[in-house]
Structure 1
Amino acid sequence: MKDYFRLLSYARPIEKFAIPYVITTLLYILFNTLNLALLAPLLDTLFNSRTAEAIAPDSLPTIEGDQKWWDVMGMIKQIPDYYIHNYGPQEALKFVCIVIVVSVFLSNIFKYLSNRTMEDLRIHTLLSLRRSVFNNVMNLHLGYFNSQRKGDIIAKVSSDVQVVQFTVTNTLQVVFKEPLTLIVYVALLFAISVKLTLFSLLVIPISGFIIAKIVKRLRQQATKAHETFATMLGYLDESLAGIKIVKAFNATEYVKDRFHQENVTYSNITRKMARRQQLASPVSEFLGVIMVAGIVYFGGSMVLTGQSTLSSAEFITYIAIFSQVTRPAKALSDAFTGIHTGLAAGKRVLDLIDVKPELIDKPNAVIVKSFDNSIKLDDVCFSYGEREILSHVNLEIPKGKTIALVGPSGGGKSTLMDLLPRFVEPQSGNIYIDNLNIRDVNIQSLRSMMGFVNQESILFNDTIFNNIAFAKPNATMDEVIAAARIANAHDFIEESEHGYETFVGDRGVRLSGGQKQRLCIARAVLGNPPLMLLDEATSALDTESEKLVQDALYKLMKNRTSLIIAHRLSTIQNADTIVVLEKGKIIEQGSHNELMLNDGLYRRLIDMQTFED
């Protein structure tokens, strides 16, 4: 129940919905019950042969009679008697029919308002819960995503949240509406016949016990189903993202088989769950029929033998009301099956919400507004588990200088770059920006000092304008065009179908590799940050575009601090300092000419032209 109440907290302010829901539901239940209670006077009016003269005046309703307030059926029965005595049987029938129509109309009006209020609560809960989950995911550190399947996260944010919000609201609905309906029906049954009702209440717990046995294993199966569905979504995402590789390596059948195996597993689990859920409904319905048949036999025998004071009309009304008792009882049993499924999904969602980002701002973190001197790495070490990536790295990046990182694959270049914006945190050592430890600096302000261009061109399924203005949403068209010109992107943008309003497609699929990279460079240029982090920004460009963009980047980096992961000689030979990394350690650093004279690893890499990430 702890998980349920946590999930319920996302429905706040719940009183905004609960108060109107309670009022409308109460009115619906009262009028709906009145519809059934009016069956007795209707049958009495139709089949009772009494005339106005045959009705004793002392049996008519009076303002100050000795009628007990709890004798509801007694009061209702007096209504047709009153009309028969004063206006005749036909007028009495007309009055009863009008009352039934009005009662049904009002019960349906309040039912609509009740359902509408509950739907508003459901949507409000979904909005609040999904916002909380997504916000927490976006706040998590990058390391979390390296250890999680994307499909599992997508499943939790989409389908699991959907299941949870139905569980929360449906449970509220069932917990209040169905028990109250059941109580009102049972109270009315007691008002008609205490003896019959006591007999009927003996068989209801048997039905509940059987239903509970059927749904016992649903929660465990539901948890497994959600996990399998998440894995299947992960396979789908990977297959779509890597469709070109799938086709290139003739791996279509392998991908199909892998997805099919997970799909079969998921289908088998859902089939078992469906069988249990579907079994609950016919079993409860069959047990309900058995109870009704038992009541008909037991009560009918008493009526036929004269052992009961019930009239035929009252007995038929009793059966009609009792048949309705099984509906809220069945709804309660169905709710328990849904609760088990929903709580399984809710546990997964809460687990995601409970994940806390490892990198957060300290209280009173310093907001940096400028970069004036240098960035220093002091004895920095970093590991993924037991695997050491960086070992005792010491490096200074002076303002206005260009630093190039080179070295064999796996040397730690990308990790070193990720440390500066605090995408990851070193296990030991410190990093300073203008003598401020970046652990003491507000993360958002730190990252605002930096522009990023990755080797992998990351674009969003939006317009070219919005992709360039991603980090500066209030940018003007002139600013975006100026950035695009520097990145040598303006000409091909103008030639596009809708210019800057052209959609680039999912992950920029409608653009070539060079075009995507130029848009990423334009995005970095627009922010105009004092520090540029470039992970081989020209690697995807053709020779002509590379030359033009390289010239633009040189101008951009002039009087600006730049850290470049370099794979090509043309990119690094003009860097102020070249840092050579191997196995997480800095083994050489200096200018191009200095390192060439050292005849070390850098010289061998230049000779081999193997600048790879």
Structure 2
Amino acid sequence: MLSAVSASMAGSFIILALISSRILDEVTGKEKNRLLFYCLLLAGVVILLGILNILASHLRISIAGKLDMDMKETIFDTLFHKKYQEVWQYHSGELMNRLTSDIDVVITGITGIIPQVATIATKLIFGMAVLLWIDFFFALLILGIGIAVCCFGRLYSRKFQYMHKEMQEKSGRVRSFIQECIENMIVIKSFSNETLIQEKLKKYQQDYYHARVKRNTVSNIANTGAYVAFTAGYYGALAWGAFHIAAGTMTFGALAAFLQIINQMRTPFMNVSGLLPQYYSMISSASRLMELENLENEEDKEVVEDLGEFYNRMEEIVFDHVWFTYEKEPVLCDLSVRILKNSMTAIIGTSGKGKSTMMKLMLNLIQCEKGEIYFKTQEGQVPIDAGTRKLFAYVPQGNMIFSGTVEENIAFACKNVTEEEIMQAAEAACLKELIEKLPYGLKTILKERGSGLSEGQIQRLAIARAILSDAPILLLDECTSALDEETEKQVLKNLKKLKTKTIICISHRPAMPEGCDQVIRLENKRQVP
């Protein structure tokens, strides 16, 4: 539709040139009886152009808006269906750059290039036909200049594609750095390192600036060359027409039409030289998005929907001679453990010994190289994979709170829960008293990363979220590290009362193993007694 409107506008400009020619011939000729008719016709075409321009603008904005929503939703959804190991190799700032800047470049290309191609084709076909009708040989000369400009644009377009990709990568680095600095502002200020951070940002900004200037310089040189060539052709046509008028072989109207059509054709040829870098920018950004599309997908497994029925049949979780290596460094070696259903198990050991890795393996975010991880059920073994992930509720290390209300955060994993159920989960996590003191209770809005709450309060909120979920197995990774000893003991005591849930905890705190049914100690990448 947009291409058809653009082509209609291009054709209307050619018609305007022909009507203008007739008006000038009427004015300078002896017969003026059709002057009013041509003036009214000219006004009609101008009004039509105005309507078409409004329609084209509306279509362009509408199409761009829908494409933006569809592409972002598609890429965003795609990322969540890729293997976690594949996605985490990208910095979050770089992913944001691809989801925003690169998508914008692709959309600009789609909504700009296709309609412009329709415009260019219409102007070239109809414009060249009129020029050939007025003067065959000079029209061929103009066509030759246009082809030369297109060939010149083709020569530098490949280089432009590389420079655009380089510029986008440097833009992603700037975005990533700024994002990290904002997220870790308290660390920067505590070390009084503002000057160093400013210097690093300046360096990244300079790299991006130079890449951007280099790309635009090449584009400007190409556009200037095309402009000079067509400007020379335009004034050459003016001089040529003046000689023909002096010789009496051309009318003023014919010259006016000739010049207007050359001017209309100059834009398509110059646009072709500009379309090529725009096209290669679009291709380069599209390739960066396709890079995300081509990441390895998680295996399509049948998802466990009836969690209660499956959990009733489950007996234990089994790690059977499991090996896992990260970046050629062994993390777990020949690990064999059994975690009983409805038990509370502590996984302890010094940092970097594979405790969090065990939880990621149970969530199937990463996969072991050797061995098996499975549920032992009454009917046999069920491998742990992406389809069994809903059986687990994960409380990771660090701050994992979303912007929104307290209620939305606690009920994140549940669709239909009552306020009473939310408060029961909060009470089990020793959070009820805090919520009651908040100005709007459960409706209190939390800022980014839970700003305004202490680390201990955020941890308890995350525990409440896990308790409220339908998942029968809780994975708690250092979830009490910021709690005082008394609160930690009470939280663990409350967790112990959850007789229908299996609880697996990681902790360095002495209170954790004391109340557990089983303790798994990891040292030197292996389980030790």
SS of residue in 1 equivalent to 2:80: helix
Q: Does 1:233 align with 2:181?
A: no
* Partner residue in 1 for 2:229: 287
Q: 1:303 offset after TM fit, Å?
A: 2.7
Residue of structure 2 aligned with 1:568, choices 497, 509, 527: 509
* Partner residue in 2 for 1:71: none
Q: Write out per-residue CA displacement over residues 410-445 of structure 1, whole angstroms, 9 at most, x where no aligned residue.
A: 221111122112121111111121345554x6624x
* Partner residue in 2 for 1:602: none
Q: TM-score, normalised by structure 2?
A: 0.93
Is contact 1:401-1:559 (8 Å) kept? Answer: no
Q: Write out per-residue CA displacement over residues 286-330 of structure 1, whole angstroms, 9 at most, x where no aligned residue.
A: 221100111122232233124x3x212222221122122101111
**What letter is aligned with 1:582?**
E
**What letter is aligned with 1:576?**
D
* Partner residue in 1 for 2:279: 339
**What letter is aligned with 1:532?**
L
* Partner residue in 1 for 2:293: 353
Residue of structure 2 aligned with 1:163, choices 102, 105, 108: 105
Residue of structure 2 aligned with 1:318, choices 236, 258, 261: 258
Q: 1:158 offset after TM fit, Å?
A: 1.3
User: Comparing 107-116 with 332-341, which one deviates more in the overlay?
Assistant: 107-116
**What letter is aligned with 1:404?**
A
Q: 1:101 offset after TM fit, Å?
A: 0.9
Distance 1:231 1:572, change over 3 A: same
Is contact 2:317-2:376 (8 Å) kept? Answer: yes
Distance 1:206 1:530, change over 3 A: closer
Paired residues, what number?
A: 523
Q: 1:554 offset after TM fit, Å?
A: 2.5
SS of residue in 2 equivalent to 1:480: helix
* Partner residue in 2 for 1:46: 27
Q: Does 1:460 align with 2:402?
A: yes
* Partner residue in 1 for 2:393: 451
Q: TM-score, normalised by structure 1?
A: 0.81
SS of residue in 2 equivalent to 1:217: helix
Determine the C-alpha separation between the residues in 2 that align with 1:147 and 1:44: 70
Q: 1:383 offset after TM fit, Å?
A: 0.9
Q: Does 1:476 align with 2:424?
A: no
* Partner residue in 2 for 1:17: none
Determine the C-alpha separation between the residues in 2 that align with 1:533 and 1:116: 51
Distance 1:235 1:22, change over 3 A: closer
Q: How does 1:478-517 map to 2 (within 5 A)?
A: 478-517=420-459
Residue of structure 2 aligned with 1:262, choices 185, 197, 204: 204
Determine the C-alpha separation between the residues in 2 that align with 1:284 and 1:437: 71
Determine the C-alpha separation between the residues in 1 that align with 2:149 and 2:243: 24
Determine the C-alpha separation between the residues in 1 that align with 2:441 and 2:305: 38
Q: 1:488 offset after TM fit, Å?
A: 1.9
Distance 1:391 1:215, change over 3 A: closer
Determine the C-alpha separation between the residues in 2 that align with 1:503 and 1:95: 68
Determine the C-alpha separation between the residues in 2 that align with 1:204 and 1:146: 48
SS of residue in 2 equivalent to 1:475: coil
* Partner residue in 1 for 2:243: 301
Is contact 2:397-2:477 (8 Å) kept? Answer: yes
**What letter is aligned with 2:245?**
V
Q: How does 1:269-284 map to 2 (within 5 A)?
A: 269-284=211-226
* Partner residue in 2 for 1:180: 122
* Partner residue in 2 for 1:68: none
Distance 1:313 1:400, change over 3 A: closer
Distance 1:411 1:126, change over 3 A: same
C-alpha RMSD of the superposition: 2.1
Distance 1:438 1:352, change over 3 A: farther
SS of residue in 2 equivalent to 1:564: strand
SS of residue in 2 equivalent to 1:382: strand
Determine the C-alpha separation between the residues in 1 that align with 2:7 and 2:118: 10
Distance 1:437 1:32, change over 3 A: farther
**What letter is aligned with 2:419?**
M
**What letter is aligned with 1:338?**
Q
Q: 1:229 offset after TM fit, Å?
A: 1.1
Q: Does 1:244 align with 2:225?
A: no
* Partner residue in 2 for 1:101: 43
Determine the C-alpha separation between the residues in 2 that align with 1:254 and 1:133: 35
Q: Does 1:124 align with 2:124?
A: no
Distance 1:323 1:453, change over 3 A: closer
Is contact 2:150-2:272 (8 Å) kept? Answer: no
* Partner residue in 1 for 2:8: 27
User: Comparing 370-379 with 546-555, which one deviates more in the overlay?
Assistant: 546-555
* Partner residue in 2 for 1:393: 335
Is contact 1:155-1:230 (8 Å) kept? Answer: yes
Q: Does 1:581 align with 2:526?
A: no
**What letter is aligned with 2:257?**
T
Q: Does 1:191 align with 2:133?
A: yes
Q: Write out per-residue CA displacement over residues 42-62 of structure 1, whole angstroms, 9 at most, x where no aligned residue.
A: 1123232x25xxxxxxxxxxx
Determine the C-alpha separation between the residues in 1 that align with 2:304 and 2:442: 38
SS of residue in 1 equivalent to 2:464: helix
Q: 1:179 offset after TM fit, Å?
A: 1.8
Q: Write out per-residue CA displacement over residues 498-525 of structure 1, whole angstroms, 9 at most, x where no aligned residue.
A: 3222221111122111111111011011
Determine the C-alpha separation between the residues in 1 that align with 2:48 and 2:19: 14
**What letter is aligned with 2:434?**
F
Q: Does 1:136 align with 2:78?
A: yes
Q: 1:215 offset after TM fit, Å?
A: 4.4
Q: Write out per-residue CA displacement over residues 255-275 of structure 1, whole angstroms, 9 at most, x where no aligned residue.
A: 222221111011001011112
